[in-house]
């Protein structure tokens, strides 16, 4: 059974992604902050990532990407990095997948669920969002997925940041300063070798730029990804100021942002501060 949030109880934070690197990109910073504060964080990939490469695929790629997630779990100190055995590019919002998501939520008993919005270029991202929405509320209904214990209340659900404009742009309620853990986030991304150094550069047309040696790759990774995290801070500096004050907000270099979903519980400001305990008083 979920307990009311208190200052002394560790939070359970559940981060869903469609693919085995999605949680790291969107919430790797806050994951590090939660773990540093003694809270429990679980990442879930709803597919095995077996299509995300230009040279290998199938079981070889799925196993490689699974190994990468387990390396991330060690770097980040996660409770678990779970990977579901659905084919990459073929995720569907079926009843079977909904039941699986319901069971994952019930078993972990999250205080906060993070995941994508349903507006996205990738069908897997859209259907991951749909599955989370479809599981919301149903996690409290005893006769749905009856052999797993229902939750007494709906968890809070928050969307991770994106740049899509229609039908409406991402509108964050909370923006978090991740400057202190940005290197840990990059260390986690560094574990996804098949993606950040192979498939994604190939797909973007700059594979030839990727260095061969480990140290140079890690520097290259920072050069490629830090501007993205800096852009989040710049675009949402007004929301940063709301939570951190104008002076501190001006100094934040890197951020992650979250929009509260209407499908989960609706937290007030005090509850948001308990859910994001690294916000200043």
Question: In which order are the strands placed within the sheet that holds 156-160?
Answer: 80-83, 40-45, 12-17, 112-115, 156-160, 255-260, 174-177
Residue 196 structure tokens: 């950040």
pLDDT at residue 8 in the model: 61
Mean pLDDT by 10 residues, the chain (281 residues): 52 98 98 98 98 98 98 98 98 98 98 97 98 98 96 98 96 98 98 98 97 96 98 98 97 98 97 97 86
Residue 256 near residue 173, CB atoms below 8 Å: no
Distance CA 183, CA 166 (A): 33
Domains belonging to the chain, first-starting first, are 12-176+256-275 (3.40.50.10320)
Q: Chain centroid to CA 139: how far?
A: 20
Beta-bridge partners for 43? 15, 81
Residue 58 structure tokens: 């199938």
pLDDT at residue 281 in the model: 86
Phi, psi of 16 (to 5 degrees): -100, 145
pLDDT at residue 61 in the model: 98
- Report the 3 state secondary structure along the chain: CCCCCCCCCCCEEEEEECCCCHHHHHHHHHHHHHHHCCCEEEEEECCCCCCCCCCCCHHHHHHHHHHHHHHHHHHHCCCEEEECCCCCCCCCCCHHHHHHHHHHHHHHCCCEEEECCCCCCCHHHHHHHHHHHHHCCHHHCCCCCCCCCCCCCCCEEEEECCCCCCCCCCCCCEEEECHHHHHHHHHHHHCCHHHHHHHHHHHHCCHHHCCCCHHHHHHHHHHHHHHHHHHHHHHCHHHHHHHHCHHHHHHCCCEEEEEECCCCCCCCHHHHHHHCCCCCC
Of the candidates 83, 79, 56, the residue with the CA atom closest to the CA atom of residue 68: 83
pLDDT at residue 9 in the model: 87
Of the candidates 82, 79, 78, the residue with the CA atom closest to the CA atom of residue 65: 82
Q: The whole model's pTM is what?
A: 0.96
């Amino acid at each position: 059974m979920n307990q009311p949030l208190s200052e002394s109880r560790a939070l359970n934070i559940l981060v869903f992604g469609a693919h085995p690197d999605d949680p790291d990109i969107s919430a790797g910073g806050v994951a590090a902050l939660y773990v540093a504060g003694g809270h429990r964080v679980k990442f879930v990939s709803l597919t095995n990532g077996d299509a995300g490469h230009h040279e290998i695929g199938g079981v070889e790629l799925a196993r490689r990407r699974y190994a990468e997630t387990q390396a991330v779990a060690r770097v980040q100190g996660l409770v678990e990095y779970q990977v579901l055995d659905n084919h990459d590019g073929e995720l569907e919002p079926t009843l079977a997948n909904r039941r699986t998501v319901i069971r994952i939520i019930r078993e972990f008993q999250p205080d906060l669920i993070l995941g994508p919005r349903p507006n996205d270029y990738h069908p897997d991202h859209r259907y991951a969002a749909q599955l989370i929405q479809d599981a919301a509320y149903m996690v409290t209904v005893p006769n749905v997925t009856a052999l797993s214990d229902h939750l007494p209340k709906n968890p809070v659900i928050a969307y991770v940041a994106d740049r899509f404009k229609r039908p409406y742009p991402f509108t964050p309620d909370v923006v978090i300063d991740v400057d202190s853990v940005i290197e840990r986030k990059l260390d986690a991304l560094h574990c996804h070798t098949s993606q950040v150094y192979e498939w994604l550069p190939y797909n973007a047309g700059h594979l030839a730029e990727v260095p061969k040696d480990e140290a140079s790759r890690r520097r290259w990774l920072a050069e490629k990804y830090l501007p993205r995290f800096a852009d989040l801070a710049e675009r949402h500096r007004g929301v940063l100021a709301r939570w951190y004050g104008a002076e501190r907000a001006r100094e934040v270099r890197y951020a992650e942002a979250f929009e509260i979903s209407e499908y989960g519980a609706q937290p007030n400001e005090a509850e948001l501060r308990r859910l994001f305990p690294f916000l200043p008083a």
